[in-house]
Structures are given as C-alpha cells and as structure tokens.
C-alpha cells in the first residue's frame, strides 16, 4: 500500500517507517520536525530504509498531500500529558482539530484506511480493575481528552470505504534514535545508567501498562494489513495483560538489570494517572498480533544500547530527548510562535 505516516520525525514514527517499508509498503513521511535536533544512535540494520519526509505542519496538510495515498497512519501530535498541559489550547488545535481535519481530507481523497495512535491514558484514573475497550474513559489531561475526541469524531467518519482503527497504546519503551527519556522505562533506565539512582517521581503505586515500540509498530502493521471487517471502527488496547505493572515493579525490574542502583520514591504530586488495562481484545481480535517484548527485555536492550554508545549524563539531559524541554526551548528561542508554527 501507499501509506502516509505522520510523525516520522518522532520516537515511534522513526521506527515504524522502516518496518512498514520492509513489509513492502511505499511510505511517505510527514512531520513538522520539532525533535529533529536529537538522534541518539544509528543502526543500519533496523533503520536502513528511510522514507521521504515532508516537513510540514499537520494543520497545513492539503488534499494534494493525500493524492494517491491508500492508507494513513497518524502519529503526529503533541505526544504526552505534560506537553498538553503546557499549552492546552494549542494541544486542542493540533491533536484534536488537526487530526480530525486530516481524516476528513483523507476520506475525501479516497484513502481507504486510517489508523490512529490513541493512548491508554484515555482511562485516566482507574481503581485497579482491568479496563477494556468498553470501559468508560476518564481522561485527566488535555492530551487524553483530545484522544477521546479524535476517536469520537474520526469514528463518525468511518464507513465501508473508509476503514478507521484506533490503537490505544500503552506507555511505550525501547530504543529509537529520536529517543524519548520522558516515558517511564526509558527514563528510569537512563537514570539508572547515568546516576546509579532509580528515582520514581511518584510513590510507585500507580498502575502503568507498558509496551515496546516495536510491538506498537507490529500492531499498526497488523491493523493496516488485516481484513477490513476485523478492524473497521474498532478500538484496540495495544499491549499484553502481563505487562501491567505498578511503577515500583517497573523500578524493581530495572534495578535488576542495572545492578547497584539506589531506588527512591517521590510524592504523587499532580500526576494521579493510574490504570490497569485488559489486552484480551487485541490478543484474539487482531490477526497476527502478539507482543514479542516485555519490560525486562526492554531494559536489557537499553542497557546494551547505553553500553554501545557510551551514553552519558549530558546526552540523557539533552533537550530534544524530553519533549516538553524541547518545545519550551523552541518557544524561548522564538523558533516557534505562540501557536507552535515555525517562524
Ligand atoms: N510513546 C508513547 O508512550 C505513546 C503512548 C500512547 C500513544 N502515543 C501516541 O503515538 C504518537 C507518536 O508518539 P511518539 O512517542 O512517537 O511521540 P513523538 O513526540 O516522539 O512524535 C510525535 C511527532 O509528531 C510531530 N508533530 C507534533 N505536532 C505536529 C504538527 N502540528 N504537525 C506535524 N508534526 C507534528 C513531532 O514533530 C514528532 O516528531 C502520538 O500521537 C502519541 O500520542 C505514544
């Protein structure tokens, strides 16, 4: 298929595009490039195929960008809760309006499939019970509220000829050149490696399902390649049941992989998100999908990567590897305007 992947300059998109190309799809990338300053490592084995990438804001996409495209995988958004709280009004413009507009343009252009990267953070605060795709959502932040609104509004555009699928990803981890050290496993592994301290920002009690970035990519290609009837209008939680952890359990796994570290907890602070998620539906309902990774192997992968690249504190702290830091830097240096358009 000819696939437009938005967000190919980001953490997941950088890994996804070569995987889709390796499966024979013709990929065009699109990204505004907020994080292009950061490139943690090279790996020609996994990153040898790179798509052509339009450097363009989602909000400026036109019908011409979708000409001849058969499927859209949409990842390009402000990508986490703190980022959304930084400037909620811009988050709504990009994540909600930009995404719905992209889907409308895609449908009008005759695109057949639209796969959207939603998030388990739509569940917000649960009480420890397993939440599935039919459970009530409880979004706590502008970011998560946008995910719910996009699912609703893009869901309404779905038809026999415009197959829409929503992937509610657990929190990702794993190696990507456009690294994110603002997601829990990547962050704690980098802390362990650079400081010998695994410092949780919460008291460690919140539930957090996690999933490897390669398994997210696998779920996306399974959704793209599935019979329409299996995925049209469907929501899938992306992950596996055994990968629901309390944050302190994640920290203990990391302590095991990075021996000799001190483990500390923090105050729960403002982040009250805690959700435990059922992944039964994707296990039985998405043809070809099962997870290949778990948190332990993911931590080992990062330890091996840090060893190979001699990862240091400055690299860990580099702005482009923490989404909020990089956007604040681009704002402060007036490289982007109040609406986050490049000047
Ligand atoms: N990483 C996770 O843990 C996770 C979990 C659940 C859902 N998701 C979703 O998956 C998607 C990708 O996440 P990621 O971790 O790769 O995030 P990321 O921040 O690394 O990548 C997002 C990309 O989108 C681009 N982008 C942002 N605003 C844009 C705009 N207005 N126009 C064009 N491009 C724009 C950025 O430049 C960036 O390259 C996001 O929608 C995110 O919400 C991620």
Q: What is the pLDDT of residues 68-77, one digit of tens each?
A: 999 999 999 9
Q: Enumerate residues 6+ apart whose C-beta is below 8 A from 20.
A: 3, 5, 27, 73, 217, 220, 221, 224
User: What's the pLDDT at 268?
Assistant: 64
**C-alpha angle with apex 48: 295 to 224, nearest 5 degrees?**
65
User: What's the pLDDT at 17?
Assistant: 98
Ligand 1: does its nearest atom lie under 6 Å from the Cβ of 7? yes
Enumerate the H helices of the chain as residue ranges: 11-22, 44-47, 81-86, 88-91, 99-108, 142-157, 184-195, 213-225, 228-231, 247-257, 280-285, 295-309, 313-317, 323-332
User: Considering the chain, what is the average pLDDT of its residues?
Assistant: 96
Q: Which of 296, 260, 307 is nearest to 185 (CA)?
A: 296
User: What's the pLDDT at 270?
Assistant: 58
Q: Which of 210, 195, 192, 232 is nearest to 297 (CA)?
A: 210
State in Å: Cα 115 to ligand 1 middle: 14
**What would the pLDDT profile of 96-121 be if each residue is shown by its tens digit?**
999 999 999 999 999 999 999 999 99
Q: Cα(165)–Cα(226) distance, rounded to whole angstroms?
A: 11
User: What's the pLDDT at 269?
Assistant: 58
Q: Which of 228, 34, 278, 35 is nearest to 115 (CA)?
A: 228
Counting every residue written for the chain, the total comes to 343
State in Å: Cα 216 to ligand 1 middle: 13
Q: Enumerate residues 6+ apart whose C-beta is below 8 A from 52.
A: 28, 29
Ligand 1 binding pocket mutation candidate from 12, 178, 243 (most atoms within 8 A of CB): 12
Ligand 1 binding pocket mutation candidate from 5, 6, 7 (most atoms within 8 A of CB): 7
Which residues, in sequence order, are bridge partners of residue 223? Answer: none
Q: Cα(164)–Cα(257) distance, rounded to whole angstroms?
A: 39
Ligand 1: does its nearest atom lie under 6 Å from the Cβ of 239? no
User: What's the pLDDT at 266?
Assistant: 84
Q: Cα(219)–Cα(117) distance, rounded to whole angstroms?
A: 10
* Strand 113-119 to 163-169 pairing: parallel
* Strand 234-238 to 163-169 pairing: parallel
**What would the pLDDT profile of 112-169 be if each residue is shown by its tens digit?**
999 999 999 999 988 788 999 999 999 999 999 999 999 999 999 999 999 999 999 9
Q: Cα(272)–Cα(202) distance, rounded to whole angstroms?
A: 9
Against a cut of 0.85, is the pTM above it?
yes
User: What's the pLDDT at 327?
Assistant: 95
Nearest CA to ligand 1 atom 28: 77
SS3 content of the chain, % helix, strand, coil (to 5): 45, 20, 35
Cβ atoms within 10 Å, residue 258: 21
Which residues in the chain land under pLDDT 70? 268-271
Ligand 1: does its nearest atom lie under 6 Å from the Cβ of 146? no
Q: Enumerate residues 6+ apart whose C-beta is below 8 A from 138.
A: 122, 123, 124, 125, 126
């Amino acid at each position: 298929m000819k696939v437009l992947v938005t967000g190919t300059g980001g953490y997941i998109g950088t890994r996804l595009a070569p995987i889709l190309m390796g499966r024979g799809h013709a990929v065009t990338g699109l990204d505004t490039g907020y994080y292009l300053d950061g490139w943690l490592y090279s790996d020609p084995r996994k990153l040898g195929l790179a798509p052509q990438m339009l450097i363009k804001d989602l909000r400026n996409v036109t019908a011409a960008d979708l000409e001849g495209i058969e499927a859209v995988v949409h990842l390009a958004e402000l990508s986490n809760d703190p980022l959304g709280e930084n400037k909620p009004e811009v988050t709504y413009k990009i994540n909600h309006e930009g995404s719905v507009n992209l889907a409308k343009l895609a449908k009008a252009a005759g695109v057949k499939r639209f796969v959207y990267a939603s998030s388990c953070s739509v569940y917000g605060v649960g009480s420890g019970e397993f939440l599935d795709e039919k459970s009530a959502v409880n979004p706590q932040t502008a970011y998560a509220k946008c995910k719910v609104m996009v699912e609703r509004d893009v869901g309404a555009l779905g038809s026999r000829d415009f197959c829409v699928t929503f992937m509610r990803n657990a929190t990702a981890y794993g190696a990507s050149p456009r690294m994110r050290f603002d997601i829990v496993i990547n962050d704690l592994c980098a802390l362990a490696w650079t400081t010998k301290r695994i410092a949780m920002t919460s008291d460690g009690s919140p539930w957090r399902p996690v999933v490897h970035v390669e398994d997210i990519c696998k779920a996306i290609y399974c959704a793209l390649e599935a019979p329409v009837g299996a995925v049209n209008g469907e929501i899938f939680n992306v992950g596996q049941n055994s990968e629901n952890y309390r944050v302190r359990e994640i920290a203990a796994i990391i302590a095991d992989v990075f021996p000799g570290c001190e483990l500390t907890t923090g105050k729960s602070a403002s982040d009250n998100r805690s959700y435990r998620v059922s992944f039964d539906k994707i296990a039985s309902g998405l043809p070809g999908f099962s997870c290949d990774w778990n948190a332990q192997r993911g931590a080992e992968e990062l330890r091996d990567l840090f060893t190979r690249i001699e990862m240091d504190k400055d690299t860990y702290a580099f702005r482009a590897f923490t989404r909020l830091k990089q956007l604040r830097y681009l704002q402060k240096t007036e490289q982007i305007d109040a609406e986050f358009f490049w000047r």
